Chain A
Amino acid sequence: MPNALRRIGLAAAATMLVTVLPACGDSDTDATGTDPAATGSDQKITVYSGRNEELMEPLFEQFTAATGITVETRYAGTAAMAAQLLEEGDRSPADVFLAQDAGALGAVAKAGLFAPLPAEVTDPVPAEFRSSAGEWVGVTGRVRVLAYNPELVAEADLPSSVSDLTAAQWKGKVGVAPTNASFQAFVTAMVVAQGEEKAREFLTGLAANEPQIRDGNGAIMEDVEAGRIAAGLVNHYYLGEIAKERGVAPDEINLKLHYFPGGDLGSLVNVAGVGVLKPAADDPDVREFVDYLLSVEGQTYFAEQTYEYPVIDGAPAPAYAPALDALTVPPVDLNDLDDLESTIALIQGSGLVP
């Protein structure tokens, strides 16, 4: 009975006629709906989100309920989103870029796409969590940690510095995600703080120690929890995400977090943050959105739902993580993390990536 295919053929032919022809006429309505030159409030903003829909959508719904402003969101990885913004240039329909690390925000800022944020927006955020030129501002803090399986690693054997992971006793035991932006930011920080030679030495040593390469932090966490890897370099909040998926408290997960002590680079604090695209500089809806992200309400959402650190006073700290000021974090300026070229060359040269 090729009749079915014949019918599909007919339907396809009909669809071609019905859909393609009118499209030539009215296709421009969608695109001009988001007029980049609009300055007055139209109760609508367009956000490019390099952060996950699962994490962000409830917050946006909360914002819409509070303000009546609709959030149109595009979701993709932070790197893909930045690449799309760079390709779009000043014709981008985006009003706001929400990114997972300072490096991506820095790269878009470098291309001259962001409008400087007013001082009253950025001032409540500590200087180390925002761009010095005001082109982007951190929304949450995230700390690099070593996640380890307590059945495979004794507390006494935990390294005091991330550089110790190149030692023989860690051979084949450490999970890393070299394509992940957080890992790159950490390597860039190492270049900034200790020089390129030291960073190269570390990466070569790490690569020679047969690390377990994964695509992202989530995969490392799963394998550490299951005992397939002893330890892995990740960000602190993934523990909360895994616990949420399992429906248990974070301390019931078979996995512990080690915060490198004494300001070691292994415990770099990075941010997720936002930048406003130039055409949207004076849009009051956009301003309200950025204000909301940095309000006590918005910051509480992050602390409770994504287990990240708030960047303003007055919001609670995340449930299972130590207080940020109790940690000694390395003194790295996030503004210096936008130059990724040498980092990429180093990571590629080390053989950690194809």
Chain B
Amino acid sequence: MRRWLPRPVLFVAALLAVTVALLPLAYLAVRTADAGTDRISQILFTERVARLALRSLGLATVVTAACLVLGIGSAFLVTRTDLPGRRIFGVLAALPLAIPTYVAGFAWVSQLPGFEGFWAAALVLILASYPYVYLPVAAALVAADPAQEEVAQSMGRGPWRTFAGVTLRQIRPAAAGGGLLVALYVLSDFGAVAVLRTDTLTRAVFVSLELGFDRIGAVVLAGLLVAMTIPILAGEAATRRRGVRYARLTGVRRPAARILLRRWRMPALLVLTAVAAAALGVTTVSLARRLAAGVSRPGAWSEVAAAAGASISLSLAGVALTMLLALPIGLLTARAPGPAATLVDRLGYLTHALPGVVVGLSLVFFGINVAYPLYQTTWLLALGYAALFLPLAVAAVNGAAVAAPPVLDDVARSLGRGPLTVARTVTLPLMLPGIGAGAALVFLTCMKELPATLLLRPTGVDTLATELWTHTTVAAYAAAAPYAALLVVVSAVPTWLLVVGTGVLAKEGAR
């Protein structure tokens, strides 16, 4: 059977694309080599580093486990039960994605003085990142073919046993992929752990740079972070079974039977309301209070608008480049699965756990020494965003490519269409929703990014995130609040589109 593209071309394109994500690793290697083995072992093999690494792993474990429970639970309640107001909760469960963790952390600690430490950071990170699990799982639940469940039920299994035996299995790839993103995100997060004072490896990387610009110390610790992602990636891969696909080929979308919650309706409603209040309400109230309390001038509206415009255009550049690079990788893993494709895909994840400041420094190095014409232009920052967020886009493209079964290409080819016509008329249209979802996710992640943006943005350009940082470092909270509010509002738009894309809002006959 001929494929959509000759594989060697696709493979080379994917390899080139993943090189961008690997730029920071090259920098780590160069800088680490400068340091010499003595210095490295002096930094690495200490009780302090062991403690930091364990705490980072512990935080990632706790947050990922809780996000899986919360994400799968909300997705299930919203898509498969008769929960009242489930369409509203369908949106609320995704909205925390629009709030940067540094804003959320700050909101919590300013409402609850003394709210700090490991469990405080864990709570804020759980509430901020469970949408990474919720969104793909909700989409998988909506898209899953109910036939399997119906068979299970017809053979006498109750709804709950069907859920455990059949449904969970169907959503396992989506949940594992979401969990992976959460784990890597937690490893790389600086905002929440800094504000809520938990010493993780990433915070130590930042502190190394703060303390006398110790780049070697920062780089060696960042290398350890990369090493820590390898077992996590392997763990996620182990949960996937090869060749299992749950795409449906037949017929129209048919909703699965809804489970009646009965006496669990109220408790479920209360839990989801509490989660939404904690994840969204605290930040909203705190922003409003800060806005009311201070007198610092929020700057002219033209400044706020300029920052919003810069945020949006820089993020769009990041999205364009990231999606362009993600296409060949996503297509390769979907169309030519195998060890080579898996390797390319996994390589893209390696830098996803790196702190933004390290990716920023590495691209400063790259820009100065290799691509000077790009230095301090939008495109070097876009390259930074691509290096940071490529996996988010690849996952979406890959999902879309899997859902657009190659058999449709083959049919078109057998009817005499050329490969490019097939790509244009069959494959790409089928993949567009997936590309859109990836674009929306990358867009809102770029909007929130701070450390790499500070290092790589064109001189003189302010974004919402950098303005927010500027004002909070001099305690001008009232001036900072409009930027924070606008950042959340603008990010809410792509978040809303992501919810729409899952299909949980689709109208359907009630049962």
Which residues of A are in contact with B by a Cβ distance under 8 Å? 1-2, 4-13, 15-16, 19-20, 23, 27-28, 30-32, 34, 46, 52-55, 72-77, 79-80, 82-84, 86-89, 91, 93, 103-104, 107, 179-181, 184, 213, 215-216, 218, 221-223, 226, 228, 238, 241-242, 244-247, 340-341, 343-344, 347-348, 353-354
Contacts of A28 in B (CB 8 A): 373-374
Are A5 and B437 neighbours in the complex by a CB distance under 8 Å? yes
Can you sample 8 A-B contacts with CB below 8 Å?
Answer: A8-B497, A15-B319, A27-B373, A27-B379, A79-B211, A80-B357, A83-B361, A344-B214
Q: A5-B497, A8-B440, A19-B317 are in contact. Are A31 and B506 (CB under 8 A)?
A: no
CB within 8 Å: A-B pair count = 203
Are B52 and A354 neighbours in the complex by a CB distance under 8 Å? yes
Contacts of A93 in B (CB 8 A): 375-376, 459
Are A12 and B211 neighbours in the complex by a CB distance under 8 Å? no
Are B473 and A2 neighbours in the complex by a CB distance under 8 Å? no
Nearest A residue to B437 via CB reads A5
| Candidates B379, B459, B470, B500; contact of A23 at CB < 8 Å | B379
Are B501 and A2 neighbours in the complex by a CB distance under 8 Å? yes
Interface of chain A, helix or strand or loop or mixed? helix
A92 shortest CB reach to chain B, Å: 8
Task: Give 17 A-B pairs besides A4-B501, A30-B377, A228-B113 with Cβ atoms closer than 8 angstroms.
Answer: A5-B440, A9-B439, A10-B432, A13-B323, A28-B374, A31-B372, A54-B474, A76-B455, A80-B209, A86-B213, A218-B473, A223-B113, A238-B475, A244-B296, A245-B295, A246-B294, A340-B213
Are A354 and B207 neighbours in the complex by a CB distance under 8 Å? yes
User: What per-residue 1/0 map shows which CB atoms of B205-228 lie under 8 Å from chain A?
Assistant: 001011111110000000000000
Are B435 and A31 neighbours in the complex by a CB distance under 8 Å? no
User: CA A100 – CA B378 in complex, angstroms?
Assistant: 28
Are A353 and B197 neighbours in the complex by a CB distance under 8 Å? no
Nearest B residue to A75 via CB reads B470
Are A19 and B320 neighbours in the complex by a CB distance under 8 Å? yes
Which residues of B are in contact with A by a Cβ distance under 8 Å? 48, 52, 113-114, 194-195, 197, 199-200, 203-204, 207, 209-215, 294-296, 316-317, 319-321, 323-324, 357, 361, 364-365, 368, 372-377, 379, 428-429, 431-437, 439-440, 454-455, 457-460, 462, 466-467, 470-471, 473-479, 497-498, 500-501, 503, 505-506
Are B374 and A340 neighbours in the complex by a CB distance under 8 Å? no
Contacts of A354 in B (CB 8 A): 48, 52, 199-200, 203-204, 207
User: CA A341 – CA B437 in complex, angstroms?
Assistant: 47
User: CA A74 – CA B34 in complex, angstroms?
Assistant: 28
Q: A2-B501, A103-B212 are in contact. Are A9 and B432 (CB under 8 A)?
A: yes
User: CA A238 – CA B473 in complex, angstroms?
Assistant: 11
Are B213 and A79 neighbours in the complex by a CB distance under 8 Å? yes
Are B473 and A88 neighbours in the complex by a CB distance under 8 Å? no
| Candidates A1, A103, A343; contact of B506 at CB < 8 Å | A1
Contacts of A223 in B (CB 8 A): 113
B307 shortest CB reach to chain A, Å: 11
Are B214 and A54 neighbours in the complex by a CB distance under 8 Å? no
| Candidates B294, B295, B321, B475; contact of A218 at CB < 8 Å | B475
Are B500 and A5 neighbours in the complex by a CB distance under 8 Å? yes
Q: A245-B295, A347-B211 are in contact. Are A54 and B432 (CB under 8 A)?
A: no
Nearest B residue to A90 via CB reads B368
User: CA A79 – CA B470 in complex, angstroms?
Assistant: 15
A312 shortest CB reach to chain B, Å: 25
Are A80 and B295 neighbours in the complex by a CB distance under 8 Å? no
Q: A12-B436, A80-B209 are in contact. Are A221 and B113 (CB under 8 A)?
A: no
Are B211 and A213 neighbours in the complex by a CB distance under 8 Å? no
Are B212 and A20 neighbours in the complex by a CB distance under 8 Å? no
| Candidates B195, B317, B435, B474; contact of A52 at CB < 8 Å | B474
Are A6 and B436 neighbours in the complex by a CB distance under 8 Å? yes
User: CA A13 – CA B319 in complex, angstroms?
Assistant: 10
B37 shortest CB reach to chain A, Å: 19
User: CA A32 – CA B424 in complex, angstroms?
Assistant: 39
Q: A27-B379, A52-B474, A88-B364 are in contact. Are A73 and B460 (CB under 8 A)?
A: yes
A76 shortest CB reach to chain B, Å: 5
